[in-house]
Amino acid sequence: MTSTDAALSGATAPDEPQQRRGFFDFTLMAVLLYAVYAMTPLGAIAETALNVARGQKQRPSWLATFKGRELATAVDDSAVADASAAEGKIPLPIATAAEKHKIDVEALAALVSVHGSCTPTTCDVTAPPRTSTVFPPVAGKARLSADEAAQAIAAAGKEHGKNAELAVEAMFVGSIPLKLALSQAERSALENGEDVEVHAPFFTPSVRRGSLQGALSVIAVYRLRTLAWPADPGFRITSPFGDRMHPVTGKQAFHNGTDLGTPTGTSLFAAHNGGVKRQSRDSISGNYVVLDHGLGIETVYCHLDSAGVVEGTRVRRKEIVGLSGSTGRVTGPHLHYIVRVHDKPIDPEKVGESPTRGGGLSDPPPPVPPEKAPEKPKPVKPKTAKGAKAADPKPADPKPADPKPTGGDPI
C-alpha cells in the first residue's frame, strides 16, 4: 500500500523509531544540563541567583565545582598560627565547655577559631547552618556560646561514633545527608569512608559547594592541631626546622623539616588519616613516603630503611608507614620529617603532638602497638666492708644513648 493509499484509508505509518530517538534526545539533554549544573560554575551562579531571589544568605562557591576544587579549602597563615598555639593557650571558656560536655577540646577550638571569636571571659561562634538538626535547642540562634557549641558537637558525636570531624561536618551539612553519604561510601567498600575526602562525592553538588565549605576549614585546622608525632617522643630532635649550616655541604641552607635521631628500624607513624601520595626513592631523600592528609595538608618521611605502605592506598592516624634508616645523602640514621600546608613547609614542632609544643593531647594507642618489653630488674647495691667506699651501682642493662646524626637534606 502506497503512502497515498494509506492516507486515503486513514492508516498511519509507524513512528516507533522517531519516538525512541525523541526519548534518547531528552535523556541526553537532561544529563548534559545536570552536568553543567553539577560540574561547572554556571550551575553555582544559577544557584546563587535562586538563593538571592529567595532571600537566603547562603552563597555557594562558584569555583568548588570542578574535580579536586570542592575540597581545596583555604588554610591561611592565621589558621596555621592558630593551630600552632600550645595547648595551654586554649581559651578558658573553650577548655571549660569541652571538659563539661566530654568532647574533643581541639574540635571546639578549631570551630571557634574559624567561625567565632573570644574575649578573656567568653567565646562564641556563628551557628553552623544545620546545627539545629543535631541539637534542636539552638534553633533560630545566629550565634552560639562556647557551651552551646560544645553541646551541639557532643550531640552530633553521639550519632557518629564520637568522631570529632563527623560531628563538626553534621553541624554544617545536616545529619541525614551525612549518614546517606557515609552509607554510600560503605556500600562502595571505600577505605576510610568516614574521611570527608572519601564520602564527599556522595553529597549533592549544592551541599559540596555550599554548606560543606564551611566545615572544611574547621576540619583542616582540627587536623593541624591533632597531627600525631611521627615517632616515639623520646627520640631527640637533632636538627630543627629553619636556617642552619648543612652538615654535608657546609653551607648555610634552609631546613624544611625536623630531624629526629631515630636508629635504623625504628617504627614511624602516620601523622593523620590520609592517602599515600608517593612512595619512592632518590639520591638525596633516600626511601621516602609522602602522605596527603587532605585539605592541603601533607607530611613527608625521608631516609627510610623501608616503606610500609603502598602508593595509592589510604592509612589511618598513627598507622606504621615505614622504618627509619640512613638511605640517601645523610651522615647517620635518622628521620627527616616535613609538614606542608598547600606546598608550603611549616615547623612540625609548632603543630599537633610535638613533644616540644607544650602540654599534650590525649590519643588512643597506635593500631599496631609494639610489644611491651619485659621489666628490667632493679639494680642491687653491693655490700661492702665496714669503712670501705661503696662503688656507684650500675643497672645490669643500661639504656643505650640516643644516636646523634647531624641531619639530612630536604626533598
Residues 83 and 203 in one domain: yes
Output the pLDDT for position 163.
95
Cα–Cα distance for residue pair 70/215, rounded to 1 Å: 12
Which three cell numbers mark 10?
A: 486513514
Point out the least confidently predicted range of 3-17, 137-151, 286-300, 303-317.
Answer: 3-17
User: Cα(277)–Cα(292) distance, rounded to whole angstroms?
Assistant: 6
Distance CA 373, CA 371 (A): 6
Residues 177 and 268 in one domain: no
Looking at the predicted structure, is the pLDDT value of residue 89 above 60? Answer: yes
* Same-domain check for residues 242 and 263: yes
What pLDDT band is residue 3 in, cutting at 50, 70 and 90?
low
Of the three residues 225, 256, 277, the one that is the final residue of a domain is: 225
Is residue 3 one of the residues assigned to a domain? no
- Within-domain flag for 9: no
Tell me, yes or no, whether 268 and 208 share the same domain.
no
Q: Is the pLDDT of residue 201 over 50?
A: yes
How much is the pLDDT for 128? 96
What is the reported pLDDT for 7?
Answer: 52
**C-alpha cell of residue 29:** 539533554
- Predicted confidence (pLDDT) at residue 70 exceeds the cutoff of 80: no
Does 210 lie in the same domain as 266? no
Q: What span, in angstroms and rounded, lies between the C-alpha atoms of 57 and 362?
A: 38
Question: pTM for the complete prediction?
Answer: 0.74
- Residue 33 confidence (pLDDT) above 80: no
CATH number of the domain that residue 282 is part of = 2.70.70.10
Residues 184 and 121 in one domain: yes
- Domain region containing 24: 17-59
Let me know whether 115 and 168 are in one domain: yes
User: Strand (E) positions, 231-292?
Assistant: 237-239, 242-245, 252-255, 258-260, 267-269, 274-282, 286-292
Counted domains in the chain: 3
The reply to whether 220 and 127 lie within a common domain is yes
Distance, CA of 221 to chain centre: 9
* pLDDT, greater one: 14 or 144: 144
